[in-house]
Amino acid sequence: MSVSPVFVGRGNELAALTAALRRAAGGAPQALLIGGEAGVGKTRLLEEFLCAAEQGGTGTVTMLGNCLEVGAEGLPYAPLVTALRRLHRRIGPELERAADGLEGHLSRLLPEFGEADTEPNDEYGRARLFEQIALLFERLAAEHPLVLAIEDLHWSDRSTRELLGYLIATLHRSRVLIVATYRTDDLHRRHPLRPFLAELERQRTVQRLELNRFGRQEVAAQLAGILRTEAPDHQLVERIHRRSEGNPFFVEELACSYTGGCAVGMSETLRDILLVRVEALPEATQRVVRIAAEGGSRIEHELLAAVLDGPEDELLDALRTAVGANILQPDKDGEGYRFRHALVREAVSDDLLPGERTRINRRFATVLAAEPGLVHCDEGPARLANYWYHAHDPARALPTALDAARAARRRNAFAEQLSLLERAIELWDEVSEETQKATLRPPDWAETYPPCCCAPGTCEPECDQLQLVDVLAEAVVAARRAGDRDRGLSLAKRALKQVDETENPLRAAWFRMNRAKMLGHLNRAGGDEELAHARRLVEGRAPSAVQADVFSLAAGQAMLHGATEADLVTAERAVAIAREVGATSVELHALMTLGSLYTEFGDPERGIALLRQAIEGARRHAVPDLLTRGLNNLASLFGHLGRAEEAVTLAREGLAVAGRLGLLRNTGAILAGNLAECLLLVGRPAEAAEALAAWKEDSRAEAYDPFLHRLRGELALVNGDLTAAREHLGRSEVSFDRDQPQHAVPRARLEIDLAGRTGRPLEARSVLLAVLDSPITTRESLLLPLLARAAGVEADSRGLPAADQDRPAVLDRIAAELAEQRPVVPLHQGWARLAEAELARAAGVDTAAHWAAAIEPLRATGLPYPLVLALLGAGGAAAAAGDRERAGELLREAAELAARRGDTGLGREIARLADRAGVARALAATEGAREGARADRSEPGGASAFHLTPRETDVLRLLAEGRTNRQIAEELFISPKTASVHVSNILAKLEVSGRGEAAALAHRLRLFPEGRTPVAVGGA
């Protein structure tokens, strides 16, 4: 026997696996990716580890699955199916208890769980399947540590890779270890596994191991085990080590030749090394091995017997010989066989003559078509399609590819569905129209794709036949669901060349609409033109689902870019048409858009009512993506209206629903972001940080990543981490920001806040003017906070000559924008009054009345921000008027709100103003003031409040005027080095990070007389 009876080397790798299992058993899930060339010993290492894990006394449960090479198409989730099926045989009752309540989804993966309970055209079925598998693993791991091992990941289908990535990313606290092996020598530059591995390695729980070839000592130890000798011949070791180059599998093969078990000479080529033992077998056994090689990497005994169609005893003798020669081995299920090493199967298959290969595949296809029960039902369609395809029989390969695509869709394996549909498209012209009519099933219409190309009442019989354009339509939807939107765009473009817009306007509109959706998701230009074209095609037509869908999408896109009342009418038409034709899903989508538009046009209660109606409809009709969209939209709406506590409740519900239905992969980012935004509004930054951190751990690139980074920037600014705020601000910008106000305006507000905090008023002004000069239409809930904060930065920089020069024009521009607003709800009214108060402060004419007008509506919202800004401004005005008692009351309340919000920057500013006003004692009881104030506040106001020496005060005055260190040195008759030391001391005492921030603080707190103002701070 050539297989080494002893396990050689790999001590470090085995230790790494054992340590990972120990960490996983402690509640920290792990993933190890084991790479190496073919034959280097990945399988042997895995077998040794799994055996040790089972026998380690920890109760660990292991499950092993193999990726199958069946043309690399159409057999999704194969390793997970195999692993679960084996586990079901071992611990069936326990597995069924863990799957309680999940059977409807899991049955798509493993039929043993029962009947599926969702429609095959379920847009988000795959997402829910992933979520339920993760939940199944969590339940199993609650009882025992769980090891999921997957071999030959280089052959994995895309759905398996995405499911594996999902499990690694989401099993955060489960006692699960995932181990996967793959061949490094198969990973060519464009192999789909390469980017997948690179993405996984970004996660901290993932470790990658590379198995190297054996050295001479390890080869000697392996040979000693194979030859059953303590000291193999030195020359033999040298020769086999040189010929095998340390590959353990080749060592086995060469050792077999040496011992005479093969009795043949040895070729210098790798192919001969692989085939030498096969060619030494009896001819009858070779024939069985050749046929088995075309059956796939795993072949069922009954299928092989049916294909050979000979005496059972002869087959068993041949199989026994092949197993004894270690060419084949029984699979772990005991139902069939697999090659001892995949390299041997590949060599045997490649050695077949072209006609021989075609004939064998035809025999497999014929047998399987006659007896589908010879293979597992979930594998049948894909394997039959692959056999006919490799048999070069287009007339049979085409319908079986379509059947396999339908099966993949039912299992939510959209990538594999797309691959099979593209094969059908490739074969289409090779099959005659007569054969197509006789063999192809009627079409399964994709979503709202119109099932008839004729006018009502004029339908021709051939319209009931599947057409190429129908296959293209299904492929477009599959590409979109699989996330391959570039391919979807290409397929839709090809379909449009086959559709006559005059004869089939609805079908043309459908493809245009789908191109618009995919271009929008990819943030590419051209989507508006495609949608406009689709709209022209459906205008004036009889009501249809496509027409309603186009109108709904048009209204929704307009809502993102700045809607008009005409867009509101379009949304109303979409609802009415969808209701008339019974397109429930389209109707609910349109209702949600219409509700948001009513709110934007001044009727929030009506908008809220429509959104609630749509949410209930989504619950009633079990449309999960619509339910999460509705909860998300209503939460966002409540947040913009200042009803933040209600928004928090809805956002949490949306996340819970998405988690329960398996939609976190699709909608989790926007739901988590909206929750965090609402939590920031109500002054709960720790919870907001928790929501963002939980999503950050996911490590997947998302369309809403810029939104999340903007929120992280806001949180960093609240925490006083200006460096992190600046970093997240940079990562929050994407190409479409300037076209969509809901992204552009909040980001601009953060940029203005950060520029103001760091002493860059000209930069803040530039950001403001860029928004006001842009063509985007901005609703008041977004624009009013921007105007108020921009006015505040202008007020803070009053007295800076560079900023003073153009300030009147900027203030007039802000005032003009304010005059056009008609705020209705208290939050918007408060922001408007705050902006007016800041404008007055910027002009030096603010009074207590200005601030009181802002405080009253803002206090009614119960939101700590922007109320704290209004109280701070009012405190400053009271202090300037000499009303120290009133100033103390206002600043104490402001400090309490800043502390509640966790805003350390505002807390410090409030404390400094209290120092200057001589009311620091009034703030002593507040946590925010204690954090923001310095230890000793007994000194009088001004620069001395920061313990600046007279010389440092002089340096700060010049620094605030924009002087360089050399200029300061020349002015004060000191060396530049001494000036630099003074500047460093000043920054530390003022607790600021840079010269610009120090200058801004000096002017914001009016540390110097009006006559001594800086020359410039600039925008740098």
3-state secondary structure 928-941: HHHHHCCCCCCCCC
Q: Which amino acid is at 216?
A: R
Find, among 764, 741, 952, the residue nearest to 842 by Cα.
Answer: 764
The C-alpha atoms of residue 401 and residue 386 are separated, in whole angstroms, by: 8
SS3 564: coil
pLDDT at 332 over 80: no
Q: Residue 206 is encoded by which pair of tokens? A: 């993932």
Task: Determine the Cα–Cα distance for residues 204 and 299; give it in Å rounded to an integer.
Answer: 38
Tell me the average pLDDT across 948-972.
79
In what helix (H) or strand (E) does residue 337 lie, and over which residues does it extend? strand 336-339
pLDDT at 323 over 90: no
Cα–Cα distance between 262 and 776 in angstroms, integer? Answer: 79
CA 457 centroid distance within chain: 46
- Mean pLDDT along residues 897-915: 84
pLDDT tens column, 834-864: 999 999 999 889 999 999 999 999 998 888 9
Q: At 453, give phi and psi (nearest 5°).
A: -95, 0
Rounded to whole angstroms, the Cα distance separating 58 from 765 reads 64
Phi-psi region at 483: left, alpha or beta (left = phi > 0; alpha = psi -120 to 50): left
pLDDT in tens, 528-554: 899 999 999 999 899 999 999 999 999
Q: Which of the two residues, 255 and 79, has the higher pLDDT score? A: 79
Q: Is the pTM of this model over 0.75?
A: no
Give CA separation, 947 vs 652, 706, 980, 990, in Å: 47, 42, 18, 9
Determine phi and psi for 440, rounding to 5 degrees: -90, 135
What is each CA distance from 852 to 858, 863, 879, 910, in whole angstroms? 10, 16, 15, 18
- At 874 the pLDDT is 93
DSSP string, 136-175: HHHHHHHHS-EEEEEE-GGG--HHHHHHHHHHHHH-SSS-
- Position 461 confidence tier, pLDDT thresholds 50, 70, 90: very low
Q: What is the pLDDT of residue 733?
A: 76
Written as one letter, the residue type at 744 is A
The DSSP string of 707-774 is HHHHHHHHHHHHTT-HHHHHHHHHHT--TTGGG-HHHHHHHHHHHHHHHHHTT-HHHHHHHHHHHHHS
Distances (CA, A) of 877 to 759, 844, 852, 882, 896: 22, 10, 11, 9, 19
Whole-angstrom CA distances from 845 to 35, 877, 881, 963 are 72, 10, 12, 29
Q: Are 469 and 495 in contact (CB under 8 A)?
A: yes
Residue 179 binned pLDDT confidence (cut-offs 50, 70, 90):
very high
- Whole-angstrom CA distances from 282 to 320, 321, 329, 828, 955 are 12, 8, 17, 88, 97
Instruction: Give the pairing of strands 146-151 and 328-330.
Output: unpaired
Residues 217, 765: Cα–Cα separation, whole Å: 72
What pLDDT is recorded for position 945?
Answer: 59
Q: What is the pLDDT of residue 421?
A: 94
pLDDT, one tens digit per residue, over 688-741 is 988 888 765 444 445 567 888 899 999 999 888 888 989 888 888 754 444 567
Is the pLDDT at 363 greater than 90? The verdict is: yes
pLDDT greater than 80 at residue 781: no
Task: Answer yes or no: is pLDDT of 34 > 90.
Answer: yes
Is pLDDT at 743 greater than 50 in this prediction? yes
Check pLDDT > 70 for residue 106. yes
Q: How far apart are CA 708 and CA 714, in angstroms?
A: 10
Cα gap 765→790, rounded to integer Å: 7
Return mean pLDDT, the chain.
Answer: 83
**Band of pLDDT at residue 351, cut at 50, 70 and 90:** confident
**364-368 average pLDDT score:** 93
The pLDDT of residue 942 is 52
pLDDT confidence band for 870 (50 / 70 / 90): very high
Distance CA 378, CA 110 (A): 8
Q: What is the pLDDT of residue 740?
A: 67
CB-CB neighbours of 525 under 10 Å: 11
Cα 760 from Cα 770, distance rounded (Å): 16
Amino acid of residue 626? L
Within a 13 Å sphere around the CA of 366, how many CA atoms are in the beta-carbon half? 13
H or E, element range at 864:
helix 864-880
Please tell me the distance from the alpha carbon of residue 973 to that of residue 954, in angstroms, as a whole number: 12
Local confidence band at 277 (pLDDT 50, 70, 90 cut-offs): confident
